[in-house]
Structure formats: C-alpha cells, structure tokens
Structure 1
Amino acid sequence: MGEEHRTVVIGAGPAGLTAAYELLARGVPVRVFEADEVVGGISRTVERDGWRFDIGGHRFFTKVPRVEEFWHEILPEEDFLLRPRMSRIYYRGSLFDYPLSAANALRNLGIREAALCMGSYARARLRPPKDQSHFEGWVSARFGWRLYSMFFKTYTEKVWGMPAHRLQADWAAQRIKNLSLAKAVRNALLPRRNRKDVTSLIEEFQYPKFGPGMMWERCAEEVQRRGGQIDTGTWVTAVHRDPARRRAVAVTVNGAGQRSYPVGHVVSSMPISELVAALRPAAPPEVLAAAADLRYRDFLTIALVVPAEFSFPDNWIYVHDPAVKVGRIQNFGSWSPHLVKDGRTCLGLEYFVFEDDETWRTPDADLIATGTRELERLGLVRPGVVEAGYVVRMPKAYPVYDERYQHNVAVIRDWLAREVPNVHPVGRNGMHRYNNQDHSMLTAMLTAENIACGTTHDVWSVNVEQDYHEVAGGDGDGRRGTGRSAPIVPARPQTLPASTRAVDWGARARTRAAAAHGEPPAAVPRAQVRPG
C-alpha cells in the first residue's frame, strides 16, 4: 500500500496507540508522531532515580469488554496486580471514609459537630437556597451548608480553579445523582450489597505492576513489531487539506528537521484546538474562533520520598483543607510496591493549575519546598523526614467545560466532518470530552474500524455516563454532553478573534516535553498577529 494510503496518528497516548494497534491488526499501515520523548500521554509512568510516578492515578477498571480484552492482549496476567480500592477525605486533621460512613463521620466530627450538620441540613430542607442554578446552591440545598462547606466546596474549587458558586448546577446533578444526606446515612448503616453497581464504589481494580506507562510502552513495542512507525520528539506543525477534494492530503512535522508526508487518513488525539490551528489552508474564522475559545486545566505533581512509616493504605487522599493548595495526595506504594523502594514510599501531591499561573512557573526546588511544608502542615509526615523530591508538569491534562465549549466543539466537529472527513479526532483532548482512559480507547477502536472496514460508528456517541459512571445502565435520559459528568464552568471573556492570531504549536510541544521531564518550563511564545 502506498504512502498516500498511510494513516498518520497524532499523539502516542492511550487513544493514539490504541488506534495504531487496531489499524495495524486490520492491515492498515500507520505512522505515529508524538511531540514528547515518551509515549503514554497523561497515562505515562514517569521514572526518576528509580522511583515511578503515576500521573493522576489510573485504576484499570472498565465495563467495556473489548477494552478489557485489549489490556490483557497487550500485557500478560502476571504483569497485572489486583489492588484494593481505598480513598479518604482529609478534613480538620481527620481522615473520613469515602464514600462517607455514618460511624466514621460521627467519630471524626464529634457529637456536637454532627448535630450542627444535621441542624444545617434541616434548615436547608425547610428553607432551601433560592438560587440553585449553581453548584453551591444545589449541593447545600441537599446536604446543608455545613456539610457542603466541609466535603464539597474546597476540593471542587481546587480542581476547577474558581469559586463553586460560578460552577453550573448540572454537574452536581449528574455527579451526585440520587444521593442525599438521608440516603448517605441509610447506605452507611445498611449492609453493603452490590457495591460494584456503583463504579465510584468498586472495591478492587487491576493495575500494571510498573504503572500505567507499562501498558503503553508495551503497546508501542507491539505497534513497531507489526510494522508501524513511531516518531517521538516529533510534532505535527501542519495538516494540509485539499478544499476541492475535501480531504486532508499531507502532514508536515518537525523534529529532526522539517518533513512532509502524504496521508490517507489522520487520527488526531492532539488537543482539538491545536488540530484546527494546524490546518492549511486555515479553517474559516468562525471555526478558528471556536478553537481558540477552548480552555484546558493543567496538572502538576510534587513527588516526595519519605520513610515507609508515613505510608497510608489509600490510593489517594482528597484534601478538603483550604489552608493548603494541594488537592489530592497519592501514595504510590499503595498502587504497586514496584513503584517504590524498600523501606520508603513516595507521596505524590497533586496541584490543579493553569499553565501560565504562578504555581506552574515556580522553579522545581521551590515547589518541592512548598510541597514539603504542606505535607508537614497536614500532619501526614514529621518535619525533616522528606528525603528527596521531584516535579512533573502535565499541560492540558483536563479540558475545561465552560458555557461555550459545547457550541465551540459542535462548530469544529461539524466543519471537520464536512470539509476534512478523513481527519478523525479521538480521545479526551482530541474530542474535548471528559473521558476516562477506557472510553478514550473505545473512540480509537471505533475510528480504526471506520477507516479499515468502512463502518460508520459515531464515535461522538461514546458516552461514559450511559455505561460507566455511578450506576450500571446509566441515566437513560439520552443526554450527550461531556460524557462522564463534568462541570460546566463560566466562560472567559472573548478577546481577539482567532482569525488574527497564530501560535507556534511546535514551540508549545517542546515546552510540554521539557515540563513533563521536570525541566524548568521555558517561555512559551505569546500569540502573534498573523500577516495578511
């Protein structure tokens, strides 16, 4: 098959590598371009001095049989561990069971505080907040202000970087569907049955013994063994299209020099905003404007090595303490003993940031000092016990779902389908959807079938909430939004139209690669006025 029939895959994360693997299995030649020096995307495992870090924490649990089969086709059974699931909430120096347990909450809060919470709940039921259009009003109406402020407000604001009263209520309605204080108490007191019907309550999960990156490193090896090519440290700078034929015809890449390659299809897991910006000739102004209006939340991990006595059984702890900036703390030793070393563990402090904010720009040494202080302040370690620290930055970890994102994605999606139908967005960033790893993989699997077999799967209908989140069987309401429930957050004020802006995406890719490897983030060129 000639070069012009080759499928180019942009990005070597779970969606990109799954697409490449599935295409090769069907006899379609593939070449993968990855801007970073390693594969796996946010599902990589970062290694520093023999320590391994999982970026964000990846529980291998799915209700999609073909994804389960894929995992075990890539890795043999002996490479998987079956791990207990445990997460707790840190609040006021105490650890609360998650989901909440009545006995545990009563013991930690004390009789007086528990009574105040029940009184707050009673007031909310008698005189609910008038405005329940936002997250704060909706949740406090159902749990009372006191419980809301303890167990909902702080963590939510850390994750999404804005006050909870600016988040729209529909996320709360999806995320906390069918849950109330009365039901939480009733579920806590009654025997635990059918816990796997609620995916947030699964009690155990699979995990590759050397971290999730093990899966994607092995998948990359299989792609290459089957004849596929993977170019790391190589970013796509342009996707060339023929408007007359309404097709993408080539890509230009930069890495070890600039090169162009003819294509039959393009599977893109790069952020959809960057895909649109890379199209040549440029997309129409309204499509460029929609792409430029999409936002992302970035992610930073401070990994601190401590003696094993400061380990804890949780995979992670949610930090509901407004006095510290850390949002969640992972214990990598609880994921797998193969990630840590004898006699010590590594705690990963997770910070949800924006790429241009002060935390993101802070030098690694200062971040390690900050993380150490916060860990000590929380009382999770004694002063002076942190032995070493590492920083991992992950840009564009989470798409932001603001008031305009659905319109923006619809504009882009419709135009791509009409003008370049052989360009196929897949995955979380590729589609700007709140997908988990397994559903990102499913979009790639269906896309591979469409390309190789001529099927017409609608990958945009892959909806996590219908078959994954909370209760098996989903909502049954037919909504398609983001997929897995995510908040709709306020949109930023619109600024300069995208048609007058250009961004050096190659420079941004180089910056992301450096950041993921712990190098100080280089300056990213600001938007420049495009001549003509």
Structure 2
Amino acid sequence: MKNVVIIGAGPAGLSAADTLLKDAGVRVTIFEETSEIGGISRTVNYNGNRMDIGGHRFFSKSDKVVDFWKELMPVQGAPALDDKLLGREKPLEQGGPDPEKDERVMLVRQRVSRIFYLKKFFDYPISLKFQTFANMGLARTIRAGFGYMASAMHKREEKTLQDFMINRFGKPLYEMFFEDYTEKVWGRNPRDISADWGSQRIKGLSLSKAVMAFLKKTFSGGDADQKKTETSLIEQFLYPKLGPGQLYETLADRVREKGGDIMMQTKVTGIHIENGKVVSVQVEQAGETRTVPCDAVVSSMPIKDLMEIIDADKPQDVAHIAAELPYRDFITVGLLVKKLKLENQTDIKTISNIVPDCWIYMQEREVKVGRLQIFNNWSPYLVKDLQDTVWIGMEYFANEGDELWTMEDQAFIDFAIDELVKVDVINRADVLDSVRVRVKKAYPAYFGVYKDFPKLRAYLDTFSNLYCVGRNGQHRYNNMDHSMMTGFEAADLILKGSTDKSTLWNINTEETYHEQGKKES
C-alpha cells in the first residue's frame, strides 16, 4: 500500500486525492489546517446569506475539468429561481436537475462585469458602444484613440506589467482603467510588477480582441464555442447553486466514500527528509503532535510556509527567496442592504431591478475598495431574501499586519460602508447586516524576489516525491481549473512513479491551453 499525504483540502488537493483513489493500492490522507473545505474557493454562510470569497466562475478550456465538474454536479435542466421570478420559464430537460428541488446543481449564469469610474459604468473590457465614448468625453476618447495607435506602432519590451498593458491598450486607457486598480490590488505600481502576471491572467486580452469580440457579438450573435474566447471575454459560466464551496464539499464527500481520510483542523508542522525523499510529515491536532510516514507528499500550502518546515539543508540564497516571497492578503466585507442606489440602465432584467453585474471593478481613486460583488447575480440561492435585499461583498487587498489588516472588525465595516456612501452606491440607513472575512496569502505576487523563483523551484524539485500544486503551492496566480489540473497531474505522476515535475509546473503556461484548449493525454 502506497501512503500519500496531501496538504490542503482546496481544489488542487481534493482533485489529487480523487485521482489517486482510482488506484486500490493507494491510501490517501488529506490534512487541512482550517475547519472548512475548499480553501479560498470556499463558501462562507453568514446568517443564511452565502458569500463567495473572491468570485469564482466555473469556466475552463479543458474538457477534462468541465466534465469533472459536471460529473460532480449536473447542470440545471429547469429555470433557476430568478428565471422563474422573471417569467423566463423553459421546459425541464429530460433527466436534468431542477434547482428548486435538487440541492447539488450547477447553474448556467450570464457574466456581466463592468468598471465603475467617474461614477459611471464602463463595459469591461472596453467596448465600442456610444455610451462608452459619451462617458469618457471627447477629450479622453481622442487621447485614447491616439494612444492606442501609438502603442500599435511602437511596441515596448515587456519587462513589467505596465509594458504589457500599454502594448495592448495604449497609455491613456492604461492610466484610466488599469493603473490605479492594479495598484489597489497589489500595493505596487504596475511598473514594479513582472510582466509574468499579465501572461498568467490576461495573456490573450487586448483592445483589438475586445473590439473584435464586441463586433462578433453584435453582428453574428457571438460564438457558442467559448474555447476560442479569451477567458476575460466569456459571457457564460457554470456556478454551483450554493456557491463554489458546494462543489468542493461534494468532492470531499466522494473522496471519503472512496476511502480517503480528510483530517480537519490539522496542521502540517514538519516535513522529514532522508536521502532526497520525504519519509514522513509531522502534524499537530488539538495540541497533540504525531508523525505520519508517507511515500509521497502533494503540497498546496504556500511555498513560503512549506520551506520553513522542511528539515533539510537549504542553500542561503534559496532560503532567502522563500522567506521573502511576496503575497497579497484579502479582506471581504459582506453587506446586506435593502437596495442599491445604482440604477439598472441596461436591457437586462433582474429581480427588484438591481444592476445585473456579478462584480464591479471600483476604479474610483477616492476609495480603497477594489471590487464589489453582487451575490444575487451569482446565484439567487446565495441570498436568503432575494426579493427585498441585496447581498454584496466589498473586496479589499492588504498586507498582513498593515493598517487595514489590523483594524478592528466593526471599525473596518464602518470604514467600508462610508466608502460606498461616498461614491453613491448605498445609503447608510439601508444596511441591515454585515460581516468581515480575512484571507491570508490569497494572491501570490509577482515582484521582489519573485524574479529568482526558478532557483527555489529547482530546489523543491530535488525532493523526488514532493509535488507542489495549486495557486499557493506553485506561487502562481492560477484559476480554479488550473489548480485542479495540477492536482490531476501530480496524482498521475505519483501513480506512474515519475519524478519529472516539468509537466506539473507547465500547467497554465502552455500556449495550447490558452488558444485551443488543453490537449488531454
């Protein structure tokens, strides 16, 4: 029997466990430090209203991932609650689940996300609508046009994220819609961030592609095959009825049914190495420490933390890189309000006529909030009283220990409410309930010692049976599907007995994934 230890019960760890348990000769134990399944893709339930930490679209260009999601939770075959309330009835598909009766259902949702700037809405990505030019004004529109033409004729060498974005949008649009927001997210100006971030998150996005997508939608009705669409431009996605955590809780149940153990509130505090291999891990649970022998380890814990608990000699430069790896921490304030002051001036019908956005990029310079989630529009089942309340999430980006992070909960909530009042999004008197949630190391960052990360990766690869997966496990700003793919791949490598990790590290860097859909082996 081969014993595999998995650190973390998030998308990557659970996907690895499920794949490994296809082999009857493998015993799997997952150690999860917290009391919740799903990592940063969990769903927070507060007084009957559910909150998606960060907003997670279930979309992938990998057929393997999409099929895996549908296997766990079938796609709706009848109208969701908001469709029924709006009169958008449709016949129940043969054998399809009904969201009103079945708990574990994937809903088909429409993506709407816009930029809030100058107290006006702009499409994201920027469109060629008349309203866009009217909101920008004549002077800004002319500057943007000439700026884009200049960027098309004179390409910058892409050393920084600033170079990356100006090459694709021109300097005026970059300054209007990207620079300040990016600085909110990372606490750094884009000129101080590696261009790698753009390659990871918006590799195929540019003004020209956004314009072509707009024209295609306008004149031909769009393309049903979204594999050919840049991820930032997709218009539909799947979404679990009760938020992303529901899918991972379902997957955790299946792992247990297959014989896997998931030990909650159990922290891995040591990785013991002999002759270049992990031979055991040390875990702590309820104040007691024990040693667990293993034949392989799949780690989704932050690399910075992983390096601290490996009991092997570490070259000084590698230890320094690990200790200084940058991260960005995350704070969400959930607000239950009677209504929003924002008017729905679109042709999209919504319950209580709220704006149709799933999330709004808050580009206003006078506030620190980065994005505004409207959970009513993610899934009507996230909100306890869909007809008479709006459940929103205000997203802030911080560094553990800074002023925002250390502020008392109620003081922070009051600060957040004041920000939305300042930009005319809500009235203070309409706030009915509130909560604050903090997430450490939510975003691996691409500045500082990150430029030397290949040295750290090479060191970790010297441990033949240690496999790093997921967003924090690889210090890579992966989406959920990428993280799940790393779990699948790590499991396959273990089952094959392979110690070559190159395919594992190459996930979300392959051109075929972005342009054609990842080819499955």
TM-score, scaled relative to structure 1:
0.81
What is the SS of the residue equivalent to 2:183? helix
The answer for the alignment partner of 1:255 in structure 2 is 285
Q: Are 1:225 and 2:257 matched, yes or no?
A: yes
Contact 1:208 1:214 in 2 (8 A): yes
Q: Distance in 1 between matches of 2:213 and 2:68?
A: 35
User: Once the 2 structures are TM-superposed, how far is the Cα of residue 170 of structure 1 from its aligned partner?
Assistant: 6.0
Q: Distance in 2 between matches of 1:13 and 1:44?
A: 8
Taking the TM superposition and a 5 Å limit, the aligned residue runs for 1:89-488 are 89-103=115-129, 104-118=131-145, 134-136=160-162, 139-140=165-166, 143-169=169-195, 171=197, 188-189=214-215, 191=219, 193-194=222-223, 196=226, 197-198=228-229, 199-243=231-275, 246-256=276-286, 257-308=288-339, 311-342=354-385, 343-402=388-447, 404-408=449-453, 410-418=454-462, 420-455=463-498, 458-464=503-509, 466-469=511-514, 471-472=515-516
User: Once the 2 structures are TM-superposed, how far is the Cα of residue 425 of structure 1 from its aligned partner?
Assistant: 1.0
Q: Distance in 1 between matches of 2:329 and 2:339?
A: 30
- How many residues align structurally? 466
Per-residue CA deviations over 1:303-327 (Å, capped at 9, x if unaligned) read: 1111256642111001111100011
Taking structure 1 as reference, are residues 439 and 92 closer, same or farther at Cα in structure 2, changes over 3 Å only? same
The worse-fitting range, judged by mean Cα deviation, of 381-390 and 69-78 is 69-78
2:113 paired residue among 71, 80, 87 = 87
Per-residue CA deviations over 1:482-517 (Å, capped at 9, x if unaligned) read: xxxxxxxxxxxxxxxxxxxxxxxxxxxxxxxxxxxx
Q: Distance in 2 between matches of 1:24 and 1:173?
A: 34
> Which residue identity does 2:320 align to in structure 1?
A
Contact 1:100 1:188 in 2 (8 A): no
The answer for the alignment partner of 2:12 in structure 1 is 15
User: Once the 2 structures are TM-superposed, how far is the Cα of residue 140 of structure 1 from its aligned partner?
Assistant: 4.7
Question: Matched residues, percent identical?
Answer: 43
What is the SS of the residue equivalent to 2:137? helix
Q: Distance in 2 between matches of 1:200 and 1:129?
A: 22
User: Once the 2 structures are TM-superposed, how far is the Cα of residue 276 of structure 1 from its aligned partner?
Assistant: 1.6
Taking the TM superposition and a 5 Å limit, the aligned residue runs for 1:501-520 are none
Q: Distance in 2 between matches of 1:124 and 1:281?
A: 49
What is the SS of the residue equivalent to 2:427? coil
Taking structure 1 as reference, are residues 374 and 68 closer, same or farther at Cα in structure 2, changes over 3 Å only? same
What is the SS of the residue equivalent to 1:6? strand
Taking structure 1 as reference, are residues 285 and 298 closer, same or farther at Cα in structure 2, changes over 3 Å only? same
The answer for the alignment partner of 2:52 in structure 1 is 54
Q: Distance in 1 between matches of 2:188 and 2:143?
A: 27
What is the SS of the residue equivalent to 1:15? helix
User: Once the 2 structures are TM-superposed, how far is the Cα of residue 401 of structure 1 from its aligned partner?
Assistant: 1.6
Taking structure 1 as reference, are residues 6 and 88 closer, same or farther at Cα in structure 2, changes over 3 Å only? same
RMSD: 2.7
1:72 paired residue among 70, 94, 114 = 70
User: Once the 2 structures are TM-superposed, how far is the Cα of residue 40 of structure 1 from its aligned partner?
Assistant: 0.6
Per-residue CA deviations over 1:137-170 (Å, capped at 9, x if unaligned) read: 6645664543222111111111111123323456
Q: Please, which runs of 5 or more residues in structure 1 have no aligned partner? A: 475-532
Q: Distance in 1 between matches of 2:199 and 2:249?
A: 38
User: Once the 2 structures are TM-superposed, how far is the Cα of residue 415 of structure 1 from its aligned partner?
Assistant: 2.6
Per-residue CA deviations over 1:67-124 (Å, capped at 9, x if unaligned) read: 1222122223331100001110000010111121222311322345434544555677
What is the SS of the residue equivalent to 2:185? helix
Contact 1:331 1:345 in 2 (8 A): yes
Contact 2:61 2:517 in 1 (8 A): no
Q: Distance in 1 between matches of 2:410 and 2:282?
A: 38
> Which residue identity does 2:13 align to in structure 1?
G
Contact 1:31 1:229 in 2 (8 A): yes
What is the SS of the residue equivalent to 1:459? helix
The worse-fitting range, judged by mean Cα deviation, of 304-313 and 18-27 is 304-313
Q: Please, which runs of 5 or more residues in structure 2 have no aligned partner? A: 76-96, 98-104, 342-353
Q: Are 1:39 and 2:37 matched, yes or no?
A: yes
Contact 1:237 1:253 in 2 (8 A): yes
Q: Distance in 2 between matches of 1:225 and 1:129?
A: 55
Q: Distance in 2 between matches of 1:165 and 1:135?
A: 6
Contact 2:205 2:232 in 1 (8 A): no
The answer for the alignment partner of 1:507 in structure 2 is none
> Which residue identity does 1:46 align to in structure 2?
V
What is the SS of the residue equivalent to 2:65? helix
> Which residue identity does 2:183 align to in structure 1?
E
User: Once the 2 structures are TM-superposed, how far is the Cα of residue 9 of structure 1 from its aligned partner?
Assistant: 0.7
What is the SS of the residue equivalent to 2:178? helix
> Which residue identity does 1:36 align to in structure 2?
T
Taking structure 1 as reference, are residues 125 and 6 closer, same or farther at Cα in structure 2, changes over 3 Å only? closer
Q: Distance in 1 between matches of 2:146 and 2:316?
A: 55
